[in-house]
Amino acid sequence: MRQRNLLIFLAAIVVLVLIGVLARGGRQSGMSVVVERVRLAPFTVKLAENGVVMSPHSEQIPSLVGGNLQSLDVREGEHVTAGQLLATVYNATLYYQAAGSQADYSSSVADVRTARVNEQNARVQYVAQVSTAKSQLDLAQRIYDEDVTLFHNQAIARNQLDSDAAKLDQARVAYQQAVEQLQLGAVSGYGIDSVQYAQANARKAAIVNAQNQQQLAFSRITAPFDGIIQSITSDPNDPLRPIQVGTPVTEGQALFTIATTDNYIVRAEVDEQDIINVRLGQRVFITGEDFPGRTIVGRVAQISPIATKSTDASSTAKQVLTTIVLDSSPVFLKDGMNVDVDILTTDLHRALSVPNGAIATQNGSSYVFVVAGGVAHKRRVTAGVVGDARTQVLGGLSPGESIVSQKYPLLTDGARVQPTTSPSPLPLSSGSVFVTGG
């Protein structure tokens, strides 16, 4: 019994000696902590979303008339210019109507020329009639005046003077009628085949012909703007090949899809709770499984003024459609691709930041441990934007200072520490970003 107690006593002494040695070593070397030297570096905070690659402007081009495809003049992927012929549609009725109305219009124009000639001839005749009637009136007037003198000199009988007076009245009426006919002809066009009548027929024929020619022009399908042919409607008998010449088409049937050749855009749906952080002009990084290792840079170009229900049927949140214009459109990028979108809601070229784990809070204040001379000093800091991995520091730290980059619950102000350098002072995800172009 005494021997066992002695052994226990000796073991306790050994334990006390070991604790003393360890305590003395701890006071000399301090707690081992991971530190990071603070420096100015790029600092970004990303808002991760999903998006779809789209052309900034695309249109479906339909056939405006029914008929049979007469020619197909472009291929998928071909660049075209505004007004370039894409295809023609044959419709016999349109050709016949256009040819007939063109002939009618040409004939009506010829009728106008003929009516002008006839009008000129008729006017000459009316003027000649007035001139003749005026001459006859002047002659009757002179004869009557002479016979009045003779009658007063009793050289002629009364009945002769009365006969001359009757002839004068007739000549005066004839002249007045000729003048009225000339005036009426100037207004009415000198008959039913007048220039006005012919011109009215020509205007009517022109309207009908213009309508028929426009319908015929619709059989020529042209590009509305410079762009690239994205797709051609497939053949109804073979979905793997484009529509073939001779195939019937209907009015309004879409035959082509054309898109502008400007840089692509990406449409992303941003959650209504996150849109407060999104602003026009912010940089955006586009990545995707379809082009691994590549990152495309863009800018926020448009933010929808309304929030709409999410396209995800399982979500009750609302989304705000955000348009991103890409700085470039590499050849591997295709319309309709699904991509990952990182909107840089904070994008600073030079800023102080520390790992999120380096900051602790107490009584509403933020602080870090600054290491100097092997001693950790608790220091109050002003925190800025908080990212996924790092937090911006607006005040309380200076470049070159070292801070404890992780949380240590037992670390106290003034404690001696053994610094260990952080293996990654500035993680790529929250600092600089490597971007590969197209």
How confident is the model over 55-69, as pLDDT tens digits? 988 899 999 999 999
pLDDT in tens, 71-99: 999 999 899 999 999 999 999 999 999 99
Q: Looking at the domain that runs over 58-90+219-259, which CATH code has it been given? A: 2.40.50.100
Run of H or E including 87: strand 85-90
% of the chain beyond a pLDDT of 70:
87
Write the burial class of residue 171 (CB in 10 Å: 0-12 exposed, 13-18 middle, 19+ buried): buried
Note the CATH number of domain 94-214: 1.10.287.470
Sign of the Cα torsion 62, 64, 66, 70 reads negative
Kindly tell me if the per-residue pLDDT of 14 is higher than 50. Answer: no
Contact yes or no for 320/304 (Cβ under 8 A)? yes
Strand stretches in 202-253, DSSP E:
220-222, 227-232, 234-235, 238-242, 248-249
| pLDDT value of position 185 | 63
* 147 has a pLDDT exceeding 50: yes
Query: CB-hemisphere CA count at 13 Å for 404?
Result: 30
Q: What is the pLDDT of residues 327-380, one digit of tens each?
A: 998 989 998 999 999 999 999 999 999 999 999 998 889 999 999 999 999 999
Kindly write down the DSSP assignment for every residue of 275-339, as one continuous string: GGG--TT-EEEEE-TTSTT--EEEEEEEE-SS-EE-S-TT---EEEEEEEEES---TT--TT-EE
Is 10's pLDDT higher than 60?
no
Q: Residue 310 — left, alpha, or beta (φ > 0 → left; ψ -120 to 50 → alpha)?
A: beta
Q: What is the DSSP letter of 237?
A: T
Q: Would you say 344 and 44 are in contact if contact means Cβ atoms under 8 Å apart?
A: yes
User: How do residues 318-331 score in pLDDT, each as one tens digit?
Assistant: 999 999 999 998 98
Query: Quick one: average pLDDT of 384-388?
Result: 91
Question: Residues of the chain with pLDDT > 90: what percent?
Answer: 59
Do 65 and 215 meet the contact criterion of CB atoms below 8 Å apart? yes
Could you report the per-residue pLDDT of 152-162, keeping only the tens digit for each? 888 888 888 88
Where is pLDDT greater, at 27 or 199? 199
Amino acid 407: pLDDT: 92
Is pLDDT at 409 greater than 80 in this prediction? yes
Kindly report, residue by residue over 153-194, the tens digit of the pLDDT: 888 888 888 887 888 888 888 888 878 776 766 555 555 567
Q: Where in the chain are the domains?
A: 47-56+263-346, 58-90+219-259, 94-214
pLDDT exceeds cutoff 60 at 428: no
Q: Kindly report the number of other CB atoms within 10 A of residue 100's CB atom.
A: 13
Output the six-digit token pair for 431: 């600092």
| CA 6 – CA 12 distance, rounded (Å) | 10
Q: Which fold has domain 47-56+263-346?
A: Elongation Factor Tu (Ef-tu); domain 3 (2.40.30)
Burial pattern 46-62, b for ≥16 Cβ within 10 A else e, equals: bbebebebbbeeebebb
> Which of 274, 245, 432 lies closest to 351 in space, CA to CA?
432
